[in-house]
C-alpha cells in the first residue's frame, strides 16, 4: 500500500501516526471483490474518533458484508491540511489511502455541533461539492447519523440523507437498495427516492420549509408522495443479540480512551430534563453478565489493553452491576487489569464496590450533582438529595479517596443566585465531611474540584422551549460563584461561555443556520471545539454576512405550540410527554425513573427493553 502523504511531509507534521493506518485488527479487503465502498468519517482528529465506540461497532458491522469495504477517515489537523492543499493531496481513507471522492458513500457521525465546520472542510478537501444540490452522478452519496442528527436541519442543505437511530438496524437494507439501484443503472436521485421507503431515513431534498415573518417555521411539507411526515428513529430491540466487535481496532498512538470498552446497556432510566441522550436513546436495553464477561475476555485477548471501561449513560443503573463488578474484579484483579467506571450516581455508590476497586487503582471520583440546591435538582429531575451527596462522599473518604470531582451546570431554567451559592456551599460541606472521618480511616489531604459547564437547551428534552443565558449572564454567574468559593481545598474550573452560546444556536437551529455554518467555514473556522482553534470573531462575521440573528435561536423562549425544526423526527418519546415534564419542572415536581413507575413517555412503541420488564 502506497501512503497518500509522502514521508517528507509526514515528518513535518505533528503525530504522523494519525494518517498511516495499518493498526492491529484493521480490516483488509481486495478491492476487486467489492461492490460498495463506504468512507466512515469522524469530523475530528484521529485520537478523538478512535476513542468512539460507535465508530468501532459500525466499522466492523459494515465490514461483515463481503460486498462492502468500510474505511475510516478523520479530519486532518491544521498542519497536514496546509500540506494537503499546497500539494493537492485529496482527503483519503486510512485503510487503502484512496481518495474518498471515488467512494460510493461518505458517511459522517455527528457527535457535537461544533464539528460541523470540520464536516464541510472534509468534503472540500475531498473535492466533493458541499451543497447536495450541486453534486453530480459521479459524486459519493453523503449521509450522516449520530446524536446530533436528531435535529438534522442545520446540515440539511449539505447532506443527501440522514439516518435516525441505531445504525445496526437498517444500514444493511440501505446498502442493498443502493447495490440494486447501481446494478440497474439507476441515478442518485432514484436511489434517494427509494430511500423514502426505508424507516429511519430522512432525505431533506424531498421536504420544503417555509417561515413566518417572525422567523418561526410556518410549515414543513413533504414534496414527494412517499416522503413520510414523521421519520421514526430505529432501535435495536434485542440488544443482547446485537453485533459487537470482538476484535476492535487498536490505535497507533495514545487516544482519549486507550482501553477495552464494554457496552453494558443502552438508554437511561432517569429522565433528567436537561439531558438529550437520556431521551433519544430510550428505552433501556441491557446485556447479561455472562455475555459481558465473555466479551471482556475476547477484547482483552484481541487488543492487549490493560484496562476495562464500562460504557453506558448511568452505569450504576445496570440491574446486575454488583454481580458484574464482583466477577470482573475476581477475574482480572490478579492480572494487573484495571477496571474503570464512568461517572456514577452518588446515591448508588457503595462502599463495597469502592473497596473492590481500590485494590486495583485509586483515582479521583467523579459525581454529577448538576445543581447546587435541592429546589433546582428537583426542577431538572436529578433525583438526588444533599444527604445522598454528603453520605456518598463520606463513604468515599472512608474508603481512602482524597479527590472528588463535582460537575454542575450553570444557567439552568429557574436558576437563582441562591442556587449558584449552593454549589459553593456543597463543595465546602464535602470538605467538612472529609474531616469528620477519623484520621486513621481517611487519607492525608482532601481536594474537591468543582467544574461548571454552561447549560445548552437541546432538542427532544423538556427544556427544548427554554431560553439560554446570554454570554454576559454566564460570565457574571461564573464571577459570582468564584467569589463564594473560599476554602483552599476547593478548586473551581470553568470555561469561556462563547462556545456554549454558539452551540446553543446550532443545536436548535433550522435550515437557515446552515448558511452561517457555511460562511463560518469560508471565514476559516475549523476545529471549533478546540479552544486554541476557536475564533468567535469569525462566527460573528458569519452572522453579520448572512443577516441571521443568533439571539433568535439561543436566547428566545419558544411557545409550546411553535413548530420546531425537528418536529418531523420521532424518537418515540412524545412531545406531549416532554410538555408535561416541562410543566412539572416549572412546578419543581419530580418524576420517577422507569423501573419505579412507567410514566408512558412513548418509548414503549419499540417493543423491548425496560418497558417490557416483568
Residues 6 or more apart whose Cβ sits within 8 Å of residue 18: 45, 46, 47, 74, 76, 77, 80, 253
Instruction: Using the structure block, give the residue that is written with the C-alpha cell 457496552.
Output: 263
Query: Would you state the cell numbers that stand for residue 518, as one nine-digit string?
Result: 457555511
Distance, CA of 259 to chain centre: 19
Q: Domain for residue 15, yes or no?
A: yes
Distance, CA of 148 to chain centre: 7
Note whether 285 and 157 are same-domain residues: no
DSSP SS3 for 449:
strand
**d(C-alpha 135, C-alpha 131), whole Å:** 7
Q: Is 48 left (phi over 0), alpha (psi -120 to 50) or beta?
A: alpha
Instruction: Using the structure block, give the residue that is written with the C-alpha cell 439561543.
Output: 554
pLDDT at 583 over 90: yes
Note whether 215 and 267 are same-domain residues: no
Max Cα distance, the chain (Å): 78
Average pLDDT on 500-511 reads 98
Q: Domain for residue 612, yes or no?
A: no
pLDDT at 350 over 80: no
Note whether 194 and 294 are same-domain residues: no
Note whether 209 and 344 are same-domain residues: no
What pLDDT is recorded for position 356?
A: 61
Using N-to-C axis directions, what is the helix angle for 536-546 and 513-522, rounded to 10°? 130
What's the chain's length in residues? 614
Q: Domain for residue 540, yes or no?
A: no
- CATH number, residue 146: 3.40.50.280
What pLDDT is recorded for position 240?
A: 85
Across the chain, mean pLDDT equals 93
Note whether 443 and 582 are same-domain residues: yes
Return the bridge partners of 105, or none: 38, 141
Query: Would you state the cell numbers that stand for residue 540, as one nine-digit string?
Result: 460573528
Note whether 174 and 92 are same-domain residues: yes
Note whether 277 and 380 are same-domain residues: yes
Q: Domain for residue 155, yes or no?
A: yes
Note whether 196 and 272 are same-domain residues: no
Asked whether the bond before 47 is cis by omega within 30 degrees of 0, the reply is: no
Q: What is the pLDDT of residues 539-572, one digit of tens each?
A: 999 999 999 999 999 999 999 999 999 999 999 9
Note whether 49 and 176 are same-domain residues: yes
Average pLDDT on 330-359 reads 67
Note whether 401 and 438 are same-domain residues: yes
What pLDDT is recorded for position 348?
A: 45
Q: Domain for residue 28, yes or no?
A: yes
Whether the model pTM is above 0.85: yes
What pLDDT is recorded for position 340?
A: 76
Note whether 184 and 273 are same-domain residues: no
Domain span at residue 362?
259-495+572-603
**d(C-alpha 549, C-alpha 179), whole Å:** 43
**d(C-alpha 455, C-alpha 439), whole Å:** 39
Q: Which of 184, 215, 232 is the last residue of a domain?
A: 232
What pLDDT is recorded for position 256?
A: 74
**d(C-alpha 469, C-alpha 501), whole Å:** 8
198-221 b/e with 16+ CB inside 10 Å = b? bebbbbbbbbebeeeeeeebeebe
Q: Domain for residue 157, yes or no?
A: yes
Note whether 45 and 172 are same-domain residues: yes
Do residues 59 and 243 touch, judged by C-beta distance below 8 A?
Answer: no
- Sorting pLDDT into bands at 50, 70 and 90, what band is 316? confident
DSSP state of 33: G
HSE at residue 343, side-chain half, CA atoms within 13 A, is: 11
Query: Would you state the cell numbers that stand for residue 463, as one nine-digit string?
Result: 427544556
- Sorting pLDDT into bands at 50, 70 and 90, what band is 170? very high
Q: Domain for residue 217, yes or no?
A: yes
What pLDDT is recorded for position 515?
A: 98
Q: Domain for residue 545, yes or no?
A: no
Q: What is the pLDDT of residues 8-32, one digit of tens each?
A: 999 999 999 999 999 999 999 999 9
Q: Which comes out higher in pLDDT, residue 347 or 413? A: 413
Q: What is the pLDDT of residues 253-293, one digit of tens each?
A: 888 777 899 999 999 999 999 999 999 999 999 999 999 99
Instruction: Using the structure block, give the residue that is written with the C-alpha cell 436566547.
Output: 555
Q: Provide the domain count of the chain.
A: 2
- CATH number, residue 452: 3.80.30.20
Amino acid at each position: 500500500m502506497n501512503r497518500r502523504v509522502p514521508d517528507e511531509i509526514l515528518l513535518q507534521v505533528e503525530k504522523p501516526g494519525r494518517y498511516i493506518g495499518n493498526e492491529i485488527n484493521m480490516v483488509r479487503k481486495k478491492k476487486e471483490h467489492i461492490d460498495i465502498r463506504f468512507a466512515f468519517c469522524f469530523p475530528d482528529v484521529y485520537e478523538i474518533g478512535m476513542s468512539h465506540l460507535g465508530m468501532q461497532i459500525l466499522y466492523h458491522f459494515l465490514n461483515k458484508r463481503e460486498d462492502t469495504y468500510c474505511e475510516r477517515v478523520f479530519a486532518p489537523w491544521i498542519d497536514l491540511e496546509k500540506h494537503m492543499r499546497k500539494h493537492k493531496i485529496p482527503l483519503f481513507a486510512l485503510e487503502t489511502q484512496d481518495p474518498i471522492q471515488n467512494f460510493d458513500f461518505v458517511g459522517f457521525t455527528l457527535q457535537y455541533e461544533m464539528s460541523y465546520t470540520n464536516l464541510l472542510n472534509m468534503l472540500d478537501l475531498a473535492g466533493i461539492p458541499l451543497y447536495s444540490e450541486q453534486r453530480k452522478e459521479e459524486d459519493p452519496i453523503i449521509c450522516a447519523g449520530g446524536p446530533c442528527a436528531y435535529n438534522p436541519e442545520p446540515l440539511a442543505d449539505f447532506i443527501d440523507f440522514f439516518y435516525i437511530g441505531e445504525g445496526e438496524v437498517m444500514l444493511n437494507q440501505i446498502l442493498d437498495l443502493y447495490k440494486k439501484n447501481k446494478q440497474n443503472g439507476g441515478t442518485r436521485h432514484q436511489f434517494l427516492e427509494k430511500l423514502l421507503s426505508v424507516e429511519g431515513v430522512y432525505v431533506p431534498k424531498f421536504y420544503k420549509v417555509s417561515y413566518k415573518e417572525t422567523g418561526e417555521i410556518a410549515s414543513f411539507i413533504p414534496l414527494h408522495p412517499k416522503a413520510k411526515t414523521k421519520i421514526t428513529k430505529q432501535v435495536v430491540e434485542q440488544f443482547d443479540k446485537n453485533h459487537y466487535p470482538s476484535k476492535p481496532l487498536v490505535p497507533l498512538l495514545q487516544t482519549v480512551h486507550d482501553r477495552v470498552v464494554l457496552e453494558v446497556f443502552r438508554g437511561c432510566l432517569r429522565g433528567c430534563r436537561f439531558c438529550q441522550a437520556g431521551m433519544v436513546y430510550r428505552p433501556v436495553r441491557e446485556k447479561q453478565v455472562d455475555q459481558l464477561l465473555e466479551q471482556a475476555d475476547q477484547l482483552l485477548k484481541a487488543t492487549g489493553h490493560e484496562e476495562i471501561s464500562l460504557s453506558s449513560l448511568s452505569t450504576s443503573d445496570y440491574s446486575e452491576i454488583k454481580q458484574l463488578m464482583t466477577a470482573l474484579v475476581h477475574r482480572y484483579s490478579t492480572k494487573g487489569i484495571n477496571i474503570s467506571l464512568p461517572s456514577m450516581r452518588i446515591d448508588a455508590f457503595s462502599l463495597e464496590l469502592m473497596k473492590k476497586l481500590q485494590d486495583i487503582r485509586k483515582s479521583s471520583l467523579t459525581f454529577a450533582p448538576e445543581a447546587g440546591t435541592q429546589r433546582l435538582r428537583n426542577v431538572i429531575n436529578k433525583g438526588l438529595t444533599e444527604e445522598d451527596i454528603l453520605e456518598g462522599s463520606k463513604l468515599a473518604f472512608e474508603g481512602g479517596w482524597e479527590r472528588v470531582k463535582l460537575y454542575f451546570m450553570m444557567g439552568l431554567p429557574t436558576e437563582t443566585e441562591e442556587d449558584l451559592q449552593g454549589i459553593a456551599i456543597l463543595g465546602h460541606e464535602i470538605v467538612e465531611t472529609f474531616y469528620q472521618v477519623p484520621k486513621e480511616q481517611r487519607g492525608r489531604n482532601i481536594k474537591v474540584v468543582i467544574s461548571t459547564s454552561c447549560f445548552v437547551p437541546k432538542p427532544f428534552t423538556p427544556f427544548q422551549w427554554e431560553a439560554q443565558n446570554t454570554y454576559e449572564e454566564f460570565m457574571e454567574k461564573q464571577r459570582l460563584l468564584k467569589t463564594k468559593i473560599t476554602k483552599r481545598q476547593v478548586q473551581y474550573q470553568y470555561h469561556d461561555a462563547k462556545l456554549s452560546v454558539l452551540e446553543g444556536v446550532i443545536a436548535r437551529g433550522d435550515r437557515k443556520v446552515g448558511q452561517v455554518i457555511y460562511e463560518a467555514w469560508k471565514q476559516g473556522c475549523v476545529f471549533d471545539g478546540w479552544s486554541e482553534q476557536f475564533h468567535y470573531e469569525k462566527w460573528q462575521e458569519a452572522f453579520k454576512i448572512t443577516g441571521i440573528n443568533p439571539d433568535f435561536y439561543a436566547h428566545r423562549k419558544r411557545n409550546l405550540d411553535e413548530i420546531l425544526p425537528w418536529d418531523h423526527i420521532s424518537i418515540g418519546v412524545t412531545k406531549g410527554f416532554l410538555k408535561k415534564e416541562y410543566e412539572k419542572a416549572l412546578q419543581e415536581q419530580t418524576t420517577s425513573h422507569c423501573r419505579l413507575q412507567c410514566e408512558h413517555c412513548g418509548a414503549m412503541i419499540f417493543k423491548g427493553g425496560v418497558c417490557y420488564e416483568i
